[in-house]
Every structure is written in structure tokens, then in C-alpha cells.
Amino acid sequence: MNDRYSLLVARALELGAGEAKLIETEQIVFDPRSFLKCRFGCNRWGKFWTCPPHMQLSPETFMEAMKKYKAGIVLKTSDPKQGQEVAIALEKEAMLKHGLNFAFALTLCVQCEKCAYPEPCLFPHMARPSMDAYGMDIGKTIEPLGFKVVFDPHGKLLPAWYGMILLD
């Protein structure tokens, strides 16, 4: 494993991730059915700067950028706000301490109870798209790493939140 990547995995745990695991970008699974799930049934659709259809970058542009990344670190936390903070902190360290200038966090934005959209974002340094916003199948991507997306009998997500840092 690239030394810088393993240092960042260890650092993710120090920053507060419950678990952190390296993934090769070829292992990341995309499925256009994710867009159906975003558009129909998600109460964040159209209400957040970081959710479709307001991300301002097309899925095609995102996929072009994806081809340039070599690996990612999947983070698991029990709290979405902590997950976002760890992801952003790790992205910053990857850039500033390890020279990975295009490190990029994918994490659900939960900074504001109600997003400022359509007014300007209040915390743009924290705002990133979630893993599924650009069509990633989170369940299939994380399962080979030993993680699992689990719902309770009422259809609510059990408290395990996933984010990812893409590494160049």
C-alpha cells in the first residue's frame, strides 16, 4: 500500500472515524439507478446545494474526474456530523501534509438543519456531495470491505454513516 495512503487510514481513526479502510477506485461501484432513488423518495432532493439537481457539475464531469483517482478511503462513523468533519479534515491533511492536491471528500452535508439553498452556502469549506449523489452504489461498494448498509424494520438507516476521500 502507498505509505501516504496507510498513514491517512490511521489518521482517519485518530480523527474520530469508527473504522476506515482503503479501497481501489476500480472496486467502486456505480449504478444509474441511484439517481432514481435520489429523485424519487429522498427528502433532500432539490433542497441542498450538495444534492441533485443543484450540484452544478454533471455526472459526466464527475466520472471524468473519477478516472484520475487511484484510491479512496471509506470512513464509517455513527454520527453524520462527525463523519463530515472527519472527511473534511482528512481531505485537508491529504492535501497539505501528503501532497495529494486533488484529494476530495464525498460526505453527506449536515452542517445546517435547513440548507441555505437558494441563498449562498453558509459553510462552503465543509460542503461536499455524498457518495451516492453522483451515482455510487454505496452498499455494493462497501460490502467487500466488510461494511454493510443496514435498515431497521421501519426503513430507517441504522446509525452507521459512510463517507469517502478520493486520493490522487
Q: Given the rule CB under 6 A, which residues bind ligand SF4?
A: 48-50, 109, 111-112, 115-117, 121-123, 126-127
Which has the closest alpha carbon to 112: 44, 53, 158?
Answer: 44
Nearer Cβ to ligand SF4 (5/49) = 49
Round to whole Å and give the CA distance between 80 and 131.
13
Nearer Cβ to ligand SF4 (22/51) = 51
CB of 126 to ligand SF4, least distance (A): 5
Round to whole Å and give the CA distance between 70 and 134.
18
CB of 162 to ligand SF4, least distance (A): 18
Nearer Cβ to ligand SF4 (48/104) = 48
100 exposure class (CB count in 10 Å sphere: 0-12, 13-18, 19+)? buried
Parallel/antiparallel/unpaired status of strands 71-77 and 104-106: unpaired
CB of 88 to ligand SF4, least distance (A): 11
Amino acid at 13: L
CB of 84 to ligand SF4, least distance (A): 9
